[in-house]
Amino acid sequence: MPKRLPIDIPQTAEELTAKWLTWSLRGSTGASDARVVDFTTAEPGAGVGVSGLSIRVDLTWEPASPELPDAVLAKFPTGIQTNRGLVESEGCYDREFDFYERFSDDFPIRIPRLLYAVRDPGRAWSSMARQFRVLNRVPNWIARLIGRYTHKMARPTKRRFAMLLEYVDGARVTPLDQVPPEADLQAALGAQARFHAHWWRSPVLREEAPFGWQTCSQVPHIFNGSYAVHRDAVVAEYPERLTADVMRYADWVDANLTAVIDHLNDKMAFLHGDARSDNMLFTDEGLVLIDFGMVSSGRPAWDVAYLLSSALPSGPIARSELQRLCRDYHANLVASGVTSHSLGQFFNDIDLCLGVQIHRMVLMAAVFIGEGYGDATLAELWMTKVIDQLPEELPTIGEVA
């Protein structure tokens, strides 16, 4: 097994020290003589999630200089062990590190500047890939057994991760229980189209890090097992939401999950992968994308459906609003130079992504431990929105005319 680095790597706000902050920030800030003499920590005020711990760190430097940052964002793994095991199984911490180390210098949309990143060594990708192949071939009863005890079997490692990023001050964030303004949605869709087009069908998308990780899941067969175990209990918990029509769609996705995921993983575009509205900051200078723990490659509908399924309000016009905004995205994609991806194919892929989302909401409601939004959990809010966007007819798995 890989060994830990022989250095201190704080994993909570309580473990931060002025000495560590000084040492970590010296190279990226040019603070050759200055040092951090005091600091305070607080919640950053953006987003509710299950995968990590983000902390605003306000700094006092000596000697003071306007060139030095007043605040940074520190990111550590989540302290919720069940969630951490699940998150690590999808490579989320490594994906974000790989993204920043590989793409942060030339990403076409503004992102927070990386100031420092350190992580203990992990397993070789070849070892993980072999494990995924084995898991996707186990008998159904073993998949169900793993699915029943996912929260125990997806054990977290003892690896340490720490990242210091530019703190984007004065930014607006729309959490999942609110609706983004139209202008913000249009800015987000335009940004998605630009970075999707930037690496369209690029050989870069076949590189191991971070694109070895798939868009939806590394182990769809284990998702099948977990769904089989938890489906009925989740339906019983949400009978008004998870109606027979909704579950017909979710069950169809479950029965065809590997084929759907294989289709969506077609290496067309660079994907953010976790394009919720609360992973986007809006400033006077424009959009700033954050949280790249699910970065991958695949069909662009994944990012668009992820954003719109989490952002649009539920109700009778949700489906028509989804289609309107999808047309706007596609027009931006064409304007950015991609003319080979038809609107009909894009709409079909959107509906496949919505099906995967409602399937995931069942699993999320059963397995993840997350903070709530008022009286609702993330899964409850999201599933309600997705349900009103689902089509009446099942989509096609593959290419459409």
> Which pLDDT does position 48 carry in this prediction?
45
Token pair, residue 158, equals 């003892």
Q: How confident is the model at residue 370 (pLDDT cuts 50, 70, 90)?
A: low
At 47 the pLDDT is: 45
pLDDT at 113: 94
Beta strands per DSSP E along 124-273:
161-166, 269-271
Higher pLDDT among residues 374 and 160, named by residue: 160
Burial class (CB in 10 A: 0-12, 13-18, 19+), 321: middle
pLDDT at 377 > cutoff 90: no
Q: Which residue in 366, 367, 348, 360 sits closest to 386, CA to CA? A: 360
Q: 359 phi and psi, to 5 degrees?
A: -60, -45
Q: How do residues 101-154 score in pLDDT, each as one tens digit?
A: 999 888 999 999 999 999 999 999 999 999 999 999 999 999 999 989 877 777
**399 φ, ψ (degrees, to nearest 5):** -80, 145
Q: Residue 369: what pLDDT?
A: 60
DSSP string, 287-345: EEE---TT-EEE-THHHHHHHHHHHSPPSTTHHHHHHHHHHHHHHHHHHTT--SS-HHH
Cβ neighbors of 61 (< 8 A, separation 6 or more) are 31, 34, 35, 36, 37, 68
All structural domains of the chain with their residue ranges? 13-389
List C-alpha distances in Å: 150 to 214, 268, 366: 19, 31, 10
Q: Cβ distance 295 to 272 under 8 Å?
A: yes
